[in-house]
Structure 1
């Protein structure tokens, strides 16, 4: 796939405050990219610079190799879906969907036919004559998507469009977004602070923090092998254990931690402070081949989560989160021994 969107040495400064540090980012044609980060991380500013709603303080924005840095939103091959949907309450759904085509002076019959096609695409066939007030939140979101897709954008920008929906509807719409993206072949750039949402829809996740890219890659890699301490802690729950490099042993390093010395893959400088990350579901109650013992401790707190029990286990000064099978029968106060596969231990040096 070729690059559809490129940000080259882009930065953004508002009133002397740097919101986006100088960075490079490219997105492939037909790729579903999620910009993930906390409020104020700069992810929406990145989206707005792609869409033309914010001008970079430095750098270039290119779409299909064309420099669009100075072009207004209407002149770019992009469309944007906002969290509030911004539908026109005095218009029928068909006219809402056809609005962008009307602005492009597409003949009425053609734009209404396209609107009907788009409504069918999002599962609202036959709804064209209805008013916005007759729709549920999920249906309004679909209309906003249909309106954006009607102009056949090369890049669809989605600014937390599912944030106002309840959990069940949000999950349903996540699946529909993925199906729509696959059918359209457009590049989708989706902003969210919801880690589970990001992992369920993205081809690639870009973790953003304080205007910088902390990590970037397929969801499974970013989750299981995070590249930074921030990415490990922001992408779901993670047990982060401080350590110090003792020595380098070939392709491995020996690290001293609160649960003893451990040898894992990686490189480092003796004496350097590092962290080891381990997901709660990777902790084990029984050892396996090439596992590391983390010590004996006590279940301090426990909550039933349906598919598992979420436990806080105290081992010395460590407070580790464990996702234990319900069948394990753990209860607060019970003594446990915890283990982890050596290959699951992730070395974090930044």
Structure 2
């Protein structure tokens, strides 16, 4: 089935910068449509931040970027209260979290106290400052990047934070033919060169349509069987949380919408299983390097509804 024409405009726009990664781009749009958050966990230099920025620039929405560093403070994300001499009152100056799409680059370079500044906003779409709650823009999405192989000057993301990301993705190296093309032509276009192709009201409409996507009882049971098996697997110390299961349902409905369907099929569940599960599960010590295979086996061993 063809991709929803409105979504296709974003995909084709991003592909002007990110070559040969259509499936990754489509999966990156799932949390955007499902009102979730996205984290890219991959090695440096494969286009994680560029992909996130390209998606953000494709939409006529307010965006911001935060470069996470060791000296970044929570107020650098949320904002700060200052005294206005002219009005003789304290005023709250909003930080970069007050945007529709917030790109958090190298999120694991900031200490836990700073990382925690994102948690309330990611789960409740609000920010609390000095006993006052401020609403974040709607829609609101965090796109974060993390380098999993560099440990100097980094802090591990706590499970409670990882659980707030709807899906995690790896960008990976381009296919050899695509990479040669990149090397031959260089970067003709960058994310900053892209124009918007989708208005915010169109995005809101797609989000509302995704909520109405139908998931038939047998398909929902199929998804839930996968969830249960993560909680009983001998290879997994901590299975999928209830929040994770809710995100799983939202993600498959959003993916169905992206694929221009108003109903979920079992293939949607298979496609989203690894992106939803991988970063949330805590594996036994010696099984950590077999994450992909363990999740694939759980899905393979779960009976698909006819």
TM-score, normalised via structure 1 length: 0.35
Higher helix share: 2
TM-score, normalised via structure 2 length: 0.39
Higher strand share: 1
